[in-house]
Amino acid sequence: MKREKIELVHGSGNVFRDFGYANPEVEQLKAILAAEIIKALDRQKLTVRGAHALTGIAAADFSRIRNADLRRFTLDRLFTILNRLGTRVDVQVSLRPVESAVA
């Protein structure tokens, strides 16, 4: 059996940056918040309809979050959903210069 050499590529730590998304930090934060929403739903054993009844947020929104369809969501909306599910969100921001691609 012939062995092929496999190229190992180290990622940046942000898959959205690695795949060239326009706003990778925002996309990564949205994915993290969506994962926390799913954890909260699972912890409370809530269906999407049960989550709607508890929070007043459309069941379709919870379905979109469960399916990782986050295009329609702003960060503010995801924070609001977490708060309505009884989860406190603390945000810590750190700033650093953007690494320039131009040498």
Q: Find the CATH number of the domain harbouring 23.
A: 1.10.260.40
Tell me if 98 is assigned to some domain: no
CA distance 71 to 95: 25
Report the helix count and the strand count for the chain, using DSSP H and E. Answer: 5, 0
Q: Is the dihedral angle over the CA atoms 65, 88, 25, 44 positive or is it negative?
A: negative
**pTM (2 decimals)?**
0.82
Q: How far apart are CA 30 and CA 98, in angstroms?
A: 20
Taken as a whole, the chain contains a residue count of: 103
Supply the range of the domain harboring residue 49: 15-84
Residue 61 maps to a domain? yes
50 within a domain of the structure (yes/no): yes
pLDDT in tens, the chain (103 residues): 678 889 888 888 999 999 999 999 999 999 999 999 999 999 999 999 999 999 999 999 999 999 999 999 999 999 999 999 999 989 888 888 877 655 4
Give a yes or no: residue 92 inside a domain. Answer: no
Residues 82, 51 contacting (CB under 8 angstroms): no
